Amino acid sequence: MSAPAVAVRPAGPRLPRDRGPLSGAVLAHLRDAAGPLPTEQEAGRADPYGPDLQLALYVLYELHYRGFAGVRDDHEWDPALLSVRRALEQRFLGALRTDVPAAGAEEAMAALLIEPAGDDGSSSSSVSHYLQRDGRLWQLREYAALRSLYHLKEADPHAWVLPRLSGRAKAGMAAIEFDEFGAGRAEGIHARLFAALMTDLGLDTTYGRYVDPAPAEALATVNVMSLLGLHRSLRGALVGHFATVEVTSSPGSRRLAEAMRRTGAGPAAEHFYDEHVEADAVHEQVVRREVVGGLLADEPELEPDVVFGIGATGLLEDRLATRLLGAWRADRSALLSPLTET
């Protein structure tokens, strides 16, 4: 009796270029199982925020989303790849736990509501301040290209937490996710709205198209939500990540909508952020009272994890902000390779 055929994706994102020995070994394994995979010791010596580790993690996580063209679907649960992923995750997670300060949930949530006065580079919201006031169209295009790695899968990793919640937290999370997925209308899915924004900006809307030009700081902001989403033990931290995104989204989206209007980016570009101004102002209340409040009422022992998720999200967004603003203020691209017109 012949073995069942193993599905190979005929289409999908192409595998990116490697950025070092870790990502190179993972990519070679996915292409043709060539060469040894990274050892736990090699992963433990890598820069946890560096391009090699972050790209290797990104590629391994994508096996749980849409996979890659020419890569077997069963690689998603390949024990050897899962072992590598665990070693890389431990290195990344260990660095985050070291670098994120401890706090109480009430204090951490209150800090999210404090708006910085301007684009002094002290927080991720400084990027939206800069783009609102001084951003040029090419900088908005770069920002959208990088954010496409997040927004084209915007609500997906957060959906993994739903089976792990109950009561108020589950109901509140499901209500917000319902909105993110278009409230039952395919044309209203936020990922589709972002693709329309990209079209206005002359960007390629292919899923995963801008992985190669994305710096490690951008990959890390996407990897952290996959890391938290895939582990039940980190459900509190994923709720903290989700709370950070929803609470800070409305004011930042208002500034970005103004930046799109000021530069004449286009109606779909304006609409995406206008939509988030209104929707996320409502979501902010639900996430504070029902999702976070409900989770901590059910499982108060998860408070440190919620705080960690908030802090880790802020830390990685601030690292990305430093990268973007440092390049843009010097009038140079923040990408590893410049964008081309579509």
Q: Where are the chain's structural domains?
A: 21-99, 105-329
pLDDT of 90-101, one tens digit each?
A: 999 999 999 998
Q: DSSP string of 249-264?
A: HHHHHHHHHHHHHHTT
CA distance linking residue 26 with residue 21, whole number of Å: 9
* 7 pLDDT tier (thresholds 50, 70, 90): low
CA dihedral 319, 313, 64, 31 (to 10 degrees): 10
- C-alpha distances in Å from residue 200, one per residue of 78, 92, 210, 236, 268: 40, 36, 16, 37, 6
Neighbours of 172 (CB within 10 A): 23
pLDDT of 162-199, one tens digit each?
A: 999 999 999 999 999 999 999 999 999 999 999 999 99
Average pLDDT over residues 285-305: 94
The pLDDT of residue 35 is 81
Residue 49: phi, psi to the nearest 5?
-105, 5
Q: DSSP string of 66-89?
A: T--TTSBGGGGG-HHHHHHHHHHH
Is 120's pLDDT higher than 60? no
Is 342's pLDDT higher than 60? no
Average pLDDT over residues 263-284: 87
Q: DSSP string of 182-199?
A: TTT-GGG-HHHHHHHHHH
When comparing pLDDT for 2 and 67, which is higher?
67
Average pLDDT over residues 263-287: 87
The pLDDT of residue 34 is 75
The pLDDT of residue 110 is 74
Is 150's pLDDT higher than 90? yes
Amino acid letter, 190: H
Does domain 105-329 correspond to CATH entry 1.20.910.10?
yes
Is 121's pLDDT higher than 50? no
CA distance linking residue 84 with residue 213, whole number of Å: 24
Buried b (16+ CB within 10 A) or exposed e, 33-49: eeeebbeeebbeebebb
Q: Rounded mean pLDDT of the chain?
A: 91
Q: Which of 95, 279, 265 is nearest to 180 (CA)?
A: 279
The pLDDT of residue 133 is 95
The pLDDT of residue 60 is 98
When comparing pLDDT for 108 and 269, which is higher?
269
The pLDDT of residue 6 is 56
Is 269's pLDDT higher than 50? yes
Average pLDDT over residues 301-320: 95
CA distance linking residue 227 with residue 157, whole number of Å: 9
pLDDT of 197-253, one tens digit each?
A: 999 999 999 999 999 999 999 999 999 999 999 999 999 999 999 999 988 888 899
CB 286, CB 176: distance < 8 Å: yes
The pLDDT of residue 305 is 95
pLDDT of 321-333, one tens digit each?
A: 999 999 999 999 9
When comparing pLDDT for 33 and 183, which is higher?
183
Helix, strand counts (H, E) of the chain:
15, 0
When comparing pLDDT for 309 and 106, which is higher?
309
